Amino acid sequence: MKIKETPLKDCYIIEPTIFEDERGYFFEKFNEKKFEELTGMNGHFVQDNISKSSYGVLRGLHLQKGEHAQAKMVSCLEGKVWDVAVDLREDSPTFGKWFGIELTAENKIQMYVPRGFGHGFSVMTETAVFSYKCDNFYNKESEGSVKFNDPDLMIDWKIVEKDMILSEKDINAPGFKEKNF
């Protein structure tokens, strides 16, 4: 596995080493020991989540706050998504900055999104199956969010807004300056 830094502090791209032959392929999706050695970050995960969405679905920007904050290791198991992380840690040198990457079933790339970040993705294919490994358990009362189209963030979701399919929660999320994180 190769670990690459993103422009955001503590946010990483994980590229697997893929072994292919006439039977198919094999790769190590995650190795906690290697991850911790290469990043210095805790790689212990306690909850796995999967979502399936259709083209145009935008999920985000979401996070868990306080003692229930979560780091996530995300990947796309089927289809293609544009995955976005936003640094919401006020003491970070990259506070208020975002980074996006295309995650696909074919490229098998993962992104590590640390605690204190907002996260979201938009679906760019007919359907996509998305995987989240979380290092803390979900707690509904600790949900936080930031409006997907906040003008202070200027996130390019790679799909036009008229094609976006959003939840009521995401439509009504507070803006970045409201600090619901």
Q: Does residue 129 lie in a domain region?
A: yes
Give a yes or no: residue 31 inside a domain: no
Q: Indicate the pTM of the whole model.
A: 0.95
pLDDT at 166 over 90: yes
Tell me: cis bond preceding 58? Omega within 30 of 0 counts. no
**CATH code of residue 102:** 2.60.120.10
- pLDDT of 42 > 90? The answer is no
Tell me the two tokens of residue 161.
Answer: 């807004």
Assess if residue 67 is contained within a domain. yes
Q: What is the pLDDT of residues 6-38, one digit of tens each?
A: 999 999 999 999 999 999 999 999 999 999 999
Q: What is the total count of domains within the chain?
A: 1
- pLDDT above 90 covers a percentage of the chain that reads 96
Residues 99, 39: Cα–Cα separation, whole Å: 18
Query: Where in the sequence numbering do the catalytic residues fall?
Result: 62, 132
Q: Any alpha helices (H) in 40-98, and if so which ranges?
A: none
Q: Which domain holds residue 103?
A: 45-178
> Are the C-beta atoms of 87 and 117 separated by less than 8 Å?
yes
Cα dihedral 68→71→73→79 (10° resolution): 70
